[in-house]
DNA sequence: CTGAAATTTCAGAATATTCTGAAATATCGG
DNA sequence: CCGATATTTCAGAATATTCTGAAATTTCAG
C-alpha cells in the first residue's frame, strides 16, 4: 500500500468497516480512497495505491457503481475511466440511505406483506403474524418519514437535524395555540394519522 | 427446520438479511425466531426448530446477548435459560441503533479526531483532511440529532416521525410569527447553531 | 479494419467465516 | 459434595467469500 500515513489510516479503517456493511475490504478501501482524493482516479492509480490486483479493482469499482456511490468520468484525450465520489457529502448520504432501503427494507416489506395476506393455521401463526404486523407498521412509519425528509433541500434538512427534539417544544406550542382541545389526544395517538 | 410455513419464510429471510448486517445466518434466524415467538425459548427449543447444532445456538445466543438484543430469563423450577426479545418493538429499534452507533460510528469518530489532529505534510494530505473534516462534522450533526431524539418517549417520537417534513411548515410559521426579521437568515444558515 | 490499450470475466487458489461434535466447565437440587 | 443437567469452549471440517492471473472482450485512434 502506497499512501501518505494519514490517508492510509483512513483507508484501512474503511476497509475494516466495510465488512460490517456488507461490502468487502477492497471495496471499502477503494471508496475511502476516492472519497479523500482531490482528483478522480483511474483503475491503475488505485492498483498502485492500494496494492491489490487489477481485476480486484475492476470488480470493486463495478460494485461501487451498482451502489451508485461513484461517478464515472473521462479526461480529454484519455481513454481510461476515471472515478470519483460526489463533492457534496449530503448527496453521498442520500445515495447510501436510498440504496440500503432498496436492498434491505423494500424486500423485507414485500415479504411481510405476502406473509400477512396468508391465513394463520394456528395460534402460534396468529401470534407470529401480529409481530410481523408490528414490524411492517414500524417500517412503514420509518420509510414514510424518510420519503418526506428526503425531499427537503439540504439547507432545510440540516436545519431540522440541528433542532433535534427542540422541534418538540415548537409542536407543543403549536398545540397550545391552534388545536381544538377536544380533538387533540385522538389525533396525536394514531400513528397512521396523516 | 421444523416450523410452520409462514414462520419459516420469515426466519429464512432474516437469516439471509443477517449477512448484510454483519451477523451470520444462524444468528439472524435465532433472532427472527425469538421475535415471532409468543413464549421465551430455551436453547434446545431453538435447536429443534432451526435444525442447527447445540453449540451453534450457544454461540448465536452469546452474540445476541452481546448486542443486547435478547433477554435472558428463567422459569420457576427449570434450570434452563430462556430467551426472548422485548415486546416493545420501539425498544428493539432503540437498542439496534444504539449498538450500531457504538460499533460503527463511535470508533470512526475517534479515528477521525485523531487524524484531524495531525499536521498535513502535503497538499494531498491537506485535502484529505478537509474531506475527513466534512465527514466528522456530518457524523457529529447526525449523532447530535440522534442523542436528542433518542430521549423522547415513544409517543412523541412517533408523533415527530408521522409529521415528517411537515415540521418544516411549522418552523416557517414559527419564523414568521416570532423571529426578528434582521436576525433570521444568519441564525438559520449556520448548521452549528444550537 | 487493425491492433494497442483498457476493461471485464472467470476458474481456481488463498483466505476467512461458520458450523459441528466432543470435551470441558459450570450450575444446582438433593 | 455428588451427579445429573445445562452451557460453553474449541479444534478442525465444511462452507463461503475474496482475490489473483490469465484469457477474453471491448473500445477507439489511426
Task: Give yes or no: residues A45 and A68 share one domain.
Answer: yes
A179 touches chain B (CB under 8 A): no
Whether residues A10 and B132 touch (CB distance < 8 A) is answered with: yes
pLDDT, one tens digit per residue, over B162-178 is 988 787 777 777 767 76
Q: Do A160 and B74 touch, CB atoms closer than 8 A?
A: no
Q: Is residue B32 part of a domain?
A: yes
Q: Which three cell numbers stand for residue A143?
A: 420509510
Mean per-residue pLDDT, A169-194: 57
Q: Which of A35, A128, A148 sits opposite B7 (nearest CB)?
A: A128
Domain contains B78? yes
B71 and B106 both lie in a single domain: no
User: Rounded mean pLDDT of B86-98?
Assistant: 97
Nucleotide C9 C1' to residue A58 CA (A): 10
For residue B47, the Cα-to-chain-centroid distance in whole angstroms is 27
Q: How many CB atoms lie within 10 A of CB A36?
A: 24
Mean pLDDT of chain B: 90
Residue A193 lies in a domain: no
The cell 412517533 sits on which residue?
B158
- The residue out of B38, B56, B84 marking a domain boundary is B84
pLDDT in tens, A129-155: 999 999 999 999 999 999 999 999 999
Supply the pLDDT for residue A179: 61
| Mean pLDDT of the region A62-66 | 97
Of the candidates A110, A76, A70, A112, the residue with the CA atom closest to the CA atom of residue A91:
A70
Residues B123, B75 share a domain: no
Q: What whole-number distance in Å separates Cα of residue B121 and Cα of residue A4?
A: 9
Q: Kindly tell me if the per-residue pLDDT of A46 is higher than 90.
A: yes
* pLDDT at residue B180, as a whole number: 59
Alpha-carbon span B117 to A90, nearest angstrom: 24
Do B58 and B119 lie in a common domain? no
List the 4-63 stretch of B: residues with Cβ below 8 A of A: 4, 6-7, 9-10, 13, 17, 19-22, 35-38
> Which nucleotides of strand D lie under 7 Å from a protein CB?
5-10, 17-22, 27-29
Q: By residue range, what is the domain housing residue A26?
A: 5-84
State the Cα–Cα distance between residues A92 and A34, nearest whole angstrom: 12
CATH of the domain at A15: 1.10.10.10
Same domain, A113 and A162: no
Say if residue B77 is in the same domain as residue B99: no
* A29 CB inside 7 Å of strand D: no
pLDDT above 60 for A110: yes
Residues B38, B100 within the same domain: no
The reply to whether A44 and A67 lie within a common domain is: yes
Q: Which of residues A45, A60, A84 is at a domain's end?
A: A84
B21 lies in some domain: yes
What is the tally of structural domains in chain A?
A: 3
Q: Do A99 and A65 share a structural domain?
A: no
Domain's final residue, options B84, B105, B135 = B84
Number of alpha carbons in the 13 Å side-chain half-sphere of residue B31: 27
A191, pLDDT greater than 60:
no
Q: Please indicate, yes or no, if residue B76 is contained in any of the structural domains.
A: yes
What's the pLDDT score for residue A182? 54
Would A194 be classed as within a structural domain? Answer: no
Considering chain A, what percentage of its residues have pLDDT values greater than 90? 78
Q: Do A21 and B22 touch (CB under 8 A)?
A: yes
Instruction: Identify whether B20 is part of a domain.
Output: yes
Say whether both B80 and B100 belong to one domain: no
The reply to whether A41 falls in a domain is: yes
Q: Which whole number is the average pLDDT over A61-90?
A: 96
The reply to whether B158 touches chain A by the CB within 8 Å rule is: yes
Greatest CA separation for chain B: 72
Amino acid at each position: 500500500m502506497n499512501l501518505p500515513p494519514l490517508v492510509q489510516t483512513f483507508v484501512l479503517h474503511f476497509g475494516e468497516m466495510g465488512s460490517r456493511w456488507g461490502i468487502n475490504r477492497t471495496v471499502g478501501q477503494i471508496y475511502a480512497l476516492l472519497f479523500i482524493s482531490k482528483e478522480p482516479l483511474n483503475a491503475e492509480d488505485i492498483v498502485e495505491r492500494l496494492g491489490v490486483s487489477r481485476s480486484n479493482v475492476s470488480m470493486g469499482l463495478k460494485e461501487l457503481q451498482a451502489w451508485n456511490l461513484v461517478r464515472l468520468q473521462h479526461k480529454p484525450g484519455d481513454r481510461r475511466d476515471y472515478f470519483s465520489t460526489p463533492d457534496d457529502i449530503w448527496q453521498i448520504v442520500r445515495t447510501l440511505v436510498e440504496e440500503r432501503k432498496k436492498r434491505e427494507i423494500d424486500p423485507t416489506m414485500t415479504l411481510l406483506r405476502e406473509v400477512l395476506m396468508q391465513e394463520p393455521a394456528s395460534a402460534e401463526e396468529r401470534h407470529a403474524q401480529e409481530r410481523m404486523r408490528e414490524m411492517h407498521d414500524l417500517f412503514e412509519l420509518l420509510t414514510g418519514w424518510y420519503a418526506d425528509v428526503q425531499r427537503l433541500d439540504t439547507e432545510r434538512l440540516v436545519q431540522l437535524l440541528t433542532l433535534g427534539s427542540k422541534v418538540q417544544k415548537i409542536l407543543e406550542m403549536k398545540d397550545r395555540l391552534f388545536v381544538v382541545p377536544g380533538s387533540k389526544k385522538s389525533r396525536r395517538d394514531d400513528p397512521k394519522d396523516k
